Chains A and B, each alone.
Chain A
Amino acid sequence: MNRYDLLRLPPVRAVLASRWPLLVIRAAALGGYLLVVVAGWVGTPVGNRNLSVVLVWIAWWALLILLAVPLMGRAWCSICPVPIPGEWLQHGAVLRPPPAGRRGWSLGKRWPKVLRNTWLQNAAFVIVTLFGAVVLTQPRVTALVLALLLLAAVLTSLIFERRAFCRHLCPVGGFIGLYSQAAPLELRVKDTALCAGHREKTCFTGSSDGYGCPWNLFPGGMVKNVNCGLCMECVQTCPHDNIALNVRPFGADLMQPRARRMDEAAKALILVGSAAAYSAVMLGPWSQLKTAAYSAGSAAWWAFALVFLTLVLGVLPAAFYLAVWAGSALTGSRRGGRQAFVRFAYSLVPLGMAAWIAFSLSFVFTNGSYFWPVLSDPMGWGWNLLGTADVPWTPYLTGILPPIQATVLLAGMAWSTGLTRRLAAERGPSPRSGRAAVPVILFHLATTAVLLWLLVG
């Protein structure tokens, strides 16, 4: 099966099977999160001199997209501080479930059936992207967005059961979830038959040792990483030690035919389009585009928003649908365009992730040196605590960054191309079914060419 269960390693098990390590890390992360909110609000309004912008959009983003997501999928969600206050109120406890009869302050309602998908996350991500240039550069806006996310998480926990905010609303969660399918780490059950025969299903319902899956999943039926937040609650509640944290081949979920969804297909397209938009706005030479994106609310910004929405929600999906339709036409198939659209959309995951990595490499290494002054003067008040306040802005790795970015993009394209061929072969290994891949591969080539132009020049 090409899997290795990390929980077999005693140190890993000791850390993940205890509540304390994750609680301490998450509490510290909450401290950092609240510090960022305060810094954004009371510190200097100059983005590159304020801890909030530098820590969140340079340091955290670099760790997230360059390391955490590609290698550990949703690992960030396991230490994300956003759910802590809401869960405390919801459970009435921060560690194990309180004794029977004592409950938290949540109404405990079920998330509406019509919203049990990631469409709201997709919308949230699009909205954040529309204001991205402002959010990424203005400390007060960063603080406001983070505070609103925290507030939304608390309110959601007070109304609904489990982590409804993380599962259905968090814009970052949707991003991480889609790309976690490519990561070489998964949480799965060891023996599904054991789960099937377990009447209590404590991994879902909870026990005195832990809560039912906060992500509203039944681990025994889980085949993809998308919605699993690696919170390790099921490790606590499974009485049969049937949970494994596997190291696995990259991209193992992407060929998983079960649980393919239109909302995830749309997310794959939105994320590719957003990566291109961010690259054009943040790294491109077009000052008018930059000014329009920064001038939220102005007529120029509305024009930018209209173009962005048209491209990302209209032109890009239409072009992809056309490619899929052309592929079906080449095979002579008349079967479900929608089904094929969703299936082939998963081939965009490697390319999309590569686009985000390539964009982030440039963004992070160009702006990384802002970290040193902020280390000494986190609020931008003229302090010099560690003597690094006057370190000048210096872009790092400028000489080798473009070839690295190009390599990442081409590797993403190669991965997507291979995946497309395998997805096409799902309908049968005949040469005719392989033709369905050709237009989709051409779409990948064109998308890569645009991204190379935007990022490498």
Chain B
Amino acid sequence: MASRRLTEWLGRAVVVLLAAGPPSAALLARGFEARGVVALQGVMPETGGWQPATLTATVGESIRLRLTSSDVMHGFAIGRDNRPPVDVRPGQVTDIMLRFDRPGTYTFYCTRWCGPNHWRMRGTIEVTGSAVAPDVSAPAPYLALGIDLDAPHPSGVQPDGIPSAARGAMLEAGVPEAYFARDYVRRHSPAAAWRAFRGDSGMRAYSDQQLWDLLASVWRRNTSAAALETGRRLYARNCAACHGPAGRGDGVMVAALREALRAPAEDAVGHSRNRHTVAKPADFTDPDFLGASPVLLHGKIVRGGMGTGMPYWGPVFTDPEIWALVDFLYGFQFAYDPQGGQQ
């Protein structure tokens, strides 16, 4: 009987050791592995987006992010930050270290076109714990000027041909310097500025098309080759998929947006979706685009929306980047020579 009892206890010991050993080892490894590591999983927005979507960090302390993707390739970047984006490949682990010097709310976002709702793939990092004041951005200028971003902005006037900055540069001699001021340019749409030029008695000698050329030159003088290149790069990476490489509003994702129009009002993860919020992306080659001032465009980029599927880029782009993007957009109306700029 004693030996039978001993055998039974031996059997129990074998069961406990064999059964508990592997999971215990895994939990032990987890204890070592998990210290200071934050797992961040990239999932297409249709099935959840970043998981988790909210992270926390402390000023001055490094956090290690372990990035993975469970479906397609994503990219990870932090908005208004000059760290280069990191590719997040499906089934692979990518570790990155982050450290923040100022408290605040930082937006991280996907940098790869992972699906029709790619732009929804964003999350935030709440950084706390420092006496240093948070980096508070100045309000967008459209707010100070009381511009209604959602109001139509017909141009009313339009050129007969493509305005040329190079041709306009040769006509600048008699143009008042005030028209070249950055503040003037940013507050006025090309159409409004053209009307001002037309009404200026000093510029009566110019033909309508010459005034458009002159306008293109004024707009070009208010940017730089570097800014236009920055704008081109940002546009190609973030805007072209919807607005099209030539700015005609015919990007590769337009079909998916149309599909979204037909999709149920609730997506796979239960996000309610207004059927009317997805419209054709803006066509920057449309003459009415000349009715939009740089401040208006800046505001549209910052805030997004406008009753369309336009994302908000305020937490993602820095202010100089947004202005560079605005400058680049006018290149769809004006013939710029990027290499021949001033400044």
A residues contacting B by CB (< 8 A) are: 19-20, 23-24, 27-28, 30-32, 34-35, 37-39, 42, 44-49, 81, 84, 88, 93-96, 98-99, 138, 291, 294-295, 297-300, 373, 377-382, 393
Contact = CB atoms under 8 A, between A and B. Distances in A.
Contact of B268 (A38, A44, A300): A300
Contact of B15 (A46, A84, A300, A382): A84
B30 A379 contact: yes
A42 B68 CA distance: 14
B197 to A, nearest CB: 54
B66 A382 contact: yes
Contacts of B17: 27
Most buried by A among B23, B51, B69: B23
B8 A379 contact: no
Interface in B1-56: 1, 4, 7-8, 11-12, 14-15, 17-23, 25-27, 29-30, 33-34, 39, 41, 46-47, 51
Contact of A291 (B20, B33, B46, B90): B46
Contacts of A48: 91
Contacts of A20: 11
Given A24-B14, A380-B68, A381-B66, A32 B95 contact: no
B270 interface: yes
B70 interface: yes
B12 A94 contact: yes
B14 A27 contact: yes
A48 B89 CA distance: 12
A28 B23 CA distance: 11
Given A31-B20, A42-B30, A45-B41, A88 B15 contact: yes
Given A42-B26, A42-B30, A300-B268, A23 B8 contact: no
A299 B264 contact: yes
Contacts of A297: 270
A382 B95 contact: yes
B313 to A, nearest CB: 28
Contacts, number: 115
B264 A300 contact: yes
Contacts of A378: 26
Interface of B: 1, 4, 7-8, 11-12, 14-15, 17-23, 25-27, 29-30, 33-34, 39, 41, 46-47, 51, 66, 68-70, 90-93, 95, 264, 266-270
B46 A38 contact: no
A46 B23 contact: no
Given A42-B30, A381-B66, A34 B19 contact: yes
Contacts of B4: 96
Contacts of B33: 379, 381
Contacts of A382: 66, 93, 95
A123 B30 CA distance: 36
Contacts of A45: 39, 41, 51, 68, 70
Contact of A46 (B1, B12, B26, B69): B69
A393 B21 CA distance: 30
A34 B23 contact: yes
Contact of A379 (B29, B269, B270): B29
B149 to A, nearest CB: 33
A346 B123 CA distance: 55
Given A31-B18, A95-B8, A295 B23 contact: no
**Residue among A95, A98, A138 with the highest chain B CB neighbour number at 10 A:** A95
Contact of A31 (B22, B27, B270): B22
Nearest to B90: A46
B69 to A, nearest CB: 7
Contacts of A138: 70
7 contacts: A42-B26, A45-B68, A46-B90, A49-B92, A298-B266, A378-B26, A379-B33
A297 B269 CA distance: 8
B1 A99 contact: yes
B15 A23 contact: yes
A88 B26 CA distance: 24
Nearest to B30: A42
Contacts of B12: 88, 94
A42 B18 contact: no
A357 B95 CA distance: 40
Contact of B22 (A35, A84, A380): A35
B14 to A, nearest CB: 6
A298 B268 CA distance: 5
A44 B93 contact: yes
Contacts of A24: 14, 18
A138 B29 CA distance: 21
A27 B18 contact: yes
Contacts of B270: 297-298
Contact of A49 (B25, B91, B264): B91
| Ranked 9 nearest A-B pairs via Cβ | A35-B22, A27-B18, A295-B268, A34-B23, A30-B19, A382-B93, A31-B22, A95-B11, A27-B15
A31 B91 contact: no
Contacts of A377: 93
A88 B19 CA distance: 13
Nearest to A380: B93
Contacts of A30: 15, 18-19
B19 A84 contact: yes
Nearest to B41: A45
Nearest to A51: B26
B268 A291 contact: yes
Nearest to A297: B270
A36 to B, nearest CB: 9
Contacts of A81: 19
